[in-house]
């Protein structure tokens, strides 16, 4: 059995687990804020941007590579992260958290596809098999997306487009970050956060900006997002990104649970089945294609 995991595995997995667990209740605090999409985008953007820039300024390596943030690839990272955040926030405001998180979980598949064009990597058979089953799972969730108790009464179609858009642009940003590892991830994400905060500020109605629970959205923007991202960023130094991707499925699994516990937003049985298909297909993909567990490859006849 060959796991091929470089670095301090225990330390990397531990830090990444903390990051994923801290991130999991993020959507619950978004619900508790009772804000519209553009208000949430403004608060989360400026608050997360402030914390990440302050945190990254404490490390010499981030200050040294600051200029690289504004390189051509750095600009693409900023734009893709801005789009991902806009899609995600608008999707959560439009429809059920479960649907958005199930869609967002497909970002590793989009990352693999984008890597064909950007990094000139070959796509394996397991990537396409996983994409097929993940799309089936998303399709089942979408087809039954209207029957969610206590969810926003927005358009399931628009919410799905936002969820897929968030997954695609997140996958794109990860590929760009992978193509230029010298670009400081924490700094570029902080600048991206300011970027979508500014966009939200220009769009939001002034009378809505302070309407809602500012404490709830600030707990997300000032604590949950910066801490989780800092942990996930540091974890990449000690373990493979594929392991982090596997742990990020904790948010997909726990996010709807926290929202159900805190708001009684309840997905129906078919949405849960669709989400389980997505989670299991992505787990299979990461274990076989990314972590390269040989005995599983032989078991499933994947080359």
Q: Which are the contacts of 198, defined by CB distance < 8 A and separation ≥ 6?
A: 45
Q: Both ends of the chain: CA-CA distance in Å?
A: 16
Q: Higher model confidence: residue 293 or residue 30?
A: 30
CA distance 51 to 127: 36
**Residue pLDDT, tens place only, 171-212:** 888 888 878 888 888 888 999 999 999 999 999 998 999 999
Percent of the chain with pLDDT over 90: 38
Predicted local distance difference test score (pLDDT) of residue 141: 80
Predicted local distance difference test score (pLDDT) of residue 239: 61
Predicted local distance difference test score (pLDDT) of residue 9: 54
Predicted local distance difference test score (pLDDT) of residue 14: 81
Q: Higher model confidence: residue 44 or residue 68?
A: 44
H-state helical runs in 24-59: 26-33, 37-56
**Residue pLDDT, tens place only, 94-111:** 999 989 998 988 888 888
pLDDT of 302 strictly over 80? no
Predicted local distance difference test score (pLDDT) of residue 5: 44
pLDDT of 130 strictly over 70? yes
Q: Is 266 helix (H, G, I), strand (E, B) or coil?
A: strand
Q: Higher model confidence: residue 300 or residue 59?
A: 59
Cβ atoms 122, 78 nearer than 8 A: no
Predicted local distance difference test score (pLDDT) of residue 17: 83
pLDDT of 143 strictly over 60? yes
């Amino acid at each position: 059995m060959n796991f091929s995991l470089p670095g301090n595995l225990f330390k990397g997995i531990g830090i990444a687990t903390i990051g994923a667990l801290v991130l999991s209740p993020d959507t619950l605090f978004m619900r508790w804020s009772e804000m519209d999409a553009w208000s949430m985008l403004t608060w989360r953007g400026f608050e997360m941007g402030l914390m990440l820039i302050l945190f990254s300024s404490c490390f010499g390596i981030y200050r040294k590579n600051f200029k690289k943030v504004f390189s051509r690839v750095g600009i693409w990272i900023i734009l893709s992260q801005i789009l991902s955040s806009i899609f995600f926030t608008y999707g959560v405001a439009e429809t059920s958290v479960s649907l958005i998180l199930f869609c967002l979980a497909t970002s590793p598949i989009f990352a693999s596809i984008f890597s064909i064009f950007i990094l000139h990597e070959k796509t394996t058979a397991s990537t396409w098999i996983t994409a097929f089953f993940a799309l089936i799972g998303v399709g089942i969730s979408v087809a039954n997306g209207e029957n969610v108790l206590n969810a926003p009464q927005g358009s399931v179609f628009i919410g799905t487009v936002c969820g897929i858009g968030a997954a695609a642009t997140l996958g794109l940003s990860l590929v760009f970050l992978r193509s230029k590892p010298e670009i400081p991830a924490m700094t570029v994400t902080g600048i991206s956060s300011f970027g979508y905060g500014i966009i939200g500020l220009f769009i939001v109605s002034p009378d809505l900006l302070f309407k809602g629970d500012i404490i709830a959205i600030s707990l997300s923007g000032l604590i949950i997002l910066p801490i989780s991202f800092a942990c996930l960023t540091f974890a990449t130094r000690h373990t493979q990104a594929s392991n982090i991707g596997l742990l990020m499925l904790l948010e997909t699994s726990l996010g709807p649970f926290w929202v159900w516990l805190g708001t009684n937003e309840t997905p129906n049985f078919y949405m849960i089945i669709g989400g389980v298909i997505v989670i299991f297909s992505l787990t299979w993909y990461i274990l076989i294609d990314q972590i390269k567990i040989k005995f599983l490859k032989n078991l499933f006849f994947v080359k």
